[in-house]
Structure 1
Amino acid sequence: MYKPVKETILIVDDKPGNILALESLLNTTDRRILHALTGNEGLKLALDQEIDLILLDIQMPEMDGFEVAQILKTNKRTREIPIIFITAEIIDSKNILKGYEEGAVDYLTKPLDPQLVKAKVNVLLRLQAQKKELIEKNLILEKYNLLINNSADMIGVIDRKSLKFEQVNQAVEEILYYSEKELLKYDLFYLHDKNNHQHLKKLSQQEGELINFETWIFTKKREQKWLHWKIRIKGEKWFFNARDITEIKKNQRIRSYLATVVKQSNNAIYISDSDGNIISWNIGAEKIYGYSEREALKMKIWNIIPDIIKPEASLLMQKILKGERILDLETKRINKFGKLIDVLYSATLLDEEKKSTESSIAITERDITQQNIAEERIKKLNQDLQNNVAQLEFSNQELESFSYSVSHDLRAPLRALYGYAQIIEEDFGMELSNEAQKYLNNIKRNAQRMGVLIDDLLNLSRLGRKEVDKNRVDMLRIVNEVIDSVDIKIREKSNILVDQLPSALVDYTLFRQVWENLISNAIKYSSKKNQPAIHIYAEESTDEITYHIEDNGVGFKMDYADKLFGVFQRLHSDQEFEGTGVGLAIVKRIINKHHGKIWVDSQEGIGTTFSFTLPKN
């Protein structure tokens, strides 16, 4: 969570008395007040310090407030600092507009009203703090996203009922050879053999917070791979981490096979501890030395070493315990019946418990210490990533709440800006030049556009908190209602063909919004064609319904398709087609809340088709 630092206000005025008055009015324990008597001093402080708000006198010698503001707005470090202009006289509308163009957010006229000054400063400082907090949260989200996408493990979200993939990271391409977009078309059953389907269904019904299991799956190349799944259950979602353990499984099979080979080998392979006690004895040792395993485990290795070479064998044991390996040493041994036999002796230290092994052949042991360390490290990283996923979910919820409150806070200054512009137009419209009238219209138009953006942001935020009220809804009826609400002149110009559409289990209000956004988009982007045409139709499969809305509009390059469903992402300028870039983000969020998915196909100059799926049940 972002913690605001001490607020810093810069006051720039050529009169010390004015600075002293403002400083005494605005100074609190949570604020730091800086001041400058000239524009140059103010610029230096703004560039050297972290400033949250600037109070800037307009009438100053050498460099006036407008010039200072212009320089501040051309610098990347200072361009976002809010500026309040202070003037001792009523200035004309042209200079007011000039101030706004140079980056001013408000004006104060001397003599200053203390309550008004405090109120404006408090509002702007609060908005500046909220802006910093939003930037901080965006950086955190980007960091979490980078961690998830750079993980070697598959990480994502699966719908618990249908077991369909809803989100996956980039590791899916390395492990399964599917693209992220391709895998979202499938469910978990598709990757598994039919014999495993019933097991997966039982797991999907299992309660609790965590599930761990291993399964083998088919990749896109129809290769078999083993995955270890760690599932965190959150409501109707599985937040999963899947690790490729194919090599580990192979190694386990190899180790098991080798253990069987060693146990059944005709060569004598046995293990002793540092005191010489025999702790392992294979079939080959039974055949060569004549002792059964039960007998051998009660013996020491000195029982099979002739007395004449025991001093030599003792020295050899010390070397082995210090870590020296012995390979194919010709020596003598004695069996159960007192017969000397010639052997090739190989020995190596197995572990820190100082066990050694003797064999009539050379033996190579697998050192898995580094592998175990790596596995523990991966387990820790996996746990960290799971924690990050949970934190990311929490941060998303906080960000939705934050966006909602910021949007509300923006409305007041926006209404004031539009209201003042309206007053100027009504009271002084006849006195304004054409150029001033143009600037005033620009202010009003941009204020209105900002209002639309705020409304769209509020709608998007509400979706995160709204409970979905699903009922069986007649989709054809909704589509016809939306088309009937379109202006008749626009409707008559477009040739809109609607096929029979299957009903679906959805929230009526939310899907009215989906169809309004998609149909208005189709009408808008096909409006420049001589004969605009729109076709709405559907397809059904066993488990889901796919709805399509096709137009013959301007289309776009598919290279930019992924941007369409992000907030404020647009592929056409406002001069070509009006819009805020929030409508499709709302559509995607609604469809995701209904456990469906949406995609787009388009050709530049030919047209666009939006498609989305919904589960039948």
Structure 2
Amino acid sequence: MPKKDKVNILIVDDKVNNIFALEQMLFKPGRCILSATNGNEALRTVLNKDIDLIILDVQMPEMDGFEVAQILKSNKRTREIPIIFASAEKKEHHFMMKGFEEGAIDYLYKPLNRELTEAKVSVLLELHLQKKKLLENNLALEKFALLINNSADIICIINPETLKFEEVNQAIQSLLGYTVEEVKDTSLLLYLTEDYGQRVQKLSKQVSDSLSFETKVYDKDRRIKWLHWNIVSKNGLWFANARDITEAKEVEEIKSYLATVVKQSNDAIYLHSPDGQIISWNTGAEQIYGFSEAEALGMKIWNLVPDFLLSEAQEIVESILEGSQIQALETKRVTKCGEVIDVVFAASVLTDSDSNLKSVAITERNITAQKKSEREIKQLNTDLKRNVAQLEITNKELESFSYSVSHDLRAPLRAINGYANIIREDYKDHLDDELRRLLEIIQNNAKKMGTLIDDLLAFSKLGRKELVKSTVNTAGMVKQIISETETSAKHRVNFVIGKLISAEGDYTLLNQVFINLVSNAVKYSSKNENPRVEVSSYTTDDEIIYYIKDNGTGFNMDYAHKLFGVFQRLHSDQDFEGTGVGLAIVQRVIVKHGGRVWAEGELNKGATFYFSLPKPVS
């Protein structure tokens, strides 16, 4: 709405002298005084002018001030205009109340007092203009809110010190799959890949009015997307716009990859015009024919063709320009040093979409190199057979080692445990509390060592075990595991079982995966007053993803990469018992199935462990 230079005051009175007197009282710079001598004239003026205040005489012929006010207040366009009634009589309470009911803001009583009149008019004008400004601002804010929430880009406010989202628009859901509620008050780092997370942390420490950068982010289904960020730093906050550039990046990467492949290929890849003029020349062509790119661009294709094949080569080019494709044709070419070589080439016509000009794309290679490759492949197969034989020997040695671990190490452990029992039983009257405590420590460590040996053997056997795949009813499997867990658990756990999709896999190994993850969730939620464990699954385009979520002790995401290593533990034995092999077994089983494993968590706020399996081929 354009800003007015002046405010408009309308004086309505059937007596011209009264109008003149009011004009003299109210006139000052910045005010435009308009007048009307009856109700109809006043209504026409209000409809044609932007009026900011009306001083309305009550007693007028034909249409009195109350009737004029009633009409004005019934119209959406004029209802907000403040009205002051002017009256020379009828000061009774019910008369004044009627005026207020018709929308009056105040009364002026004749004869008018200059100072009081000016004061009332000034205050009401100021209030009216403030109200108009507020309404305009609210309308602008509503428009901005609609623009922000309907934007295809992510628009957000981020605290650069914590990198937490303070505000974010609805585009976050369409682009990354997260709701606004899920993202607010979480760190931007949770969604960035590790390398870009480090870059953004460095940028957040810079003092700059504006920033522009690109990042890789994970969407809710753990797929990679590219975002281009434009950030304005103001009042200690980042006001950010993030645009999805995934498609452009993918096209850029493909073009870059293809250009690199073409340029660095060992095959000769080049283009020539319909008349045979060479217009592009790669490194492979330089290596095969000996001509540099600068030399080749001044040549025609016929310079590479032996004289006795020129006629045939011209016929082939003509057929290609008419639409034929050459998949693999053996022919001969001439190198820079005059050597005639055998090549196999493929060719097709390319048409420029803008100019409609045609060119021929050709790929050629040295059959001698192919034969050399064949010999190399034969040698590789021989080496592979030798390596397989060596691997079989290594496996037998590993089995022998496993046998030694299983039998030779267990005997001393049994002896330690047995002798400790004998001492406790036969000399119990001679043992003080400290000796009993030490004996108990010896037995507990022997028991722990036995468990560790079992876990190591189980882990080593996984690498040699062949998968026996079948359709696995994961829902039934998990229910059985939870039933057994509830029977043996030392504390009550609230289990929530969601939709569990059947999968193709080794029943025994997948059963061990669920046992390990469910038992971990139960163990690490044991210190919560109301432990809760949720097991469910969902699908993506090519995977089934299962997750086990708890409300337990959680973990620091900075150390998430250590979770699945052998003997890697994020909690001490005093807090939670364990050998650090269970999650390593989970990872080995899932990788063996062609899936992947990851985890998310926060200290004292629980953890979620995910693993994926390929969708069964229909």
TM-score, with structure 1 as normaliser: 0.49
TM-score, with structure 2 as normaliser: 0.49
Name the larger-Rg structure. Answer: 2
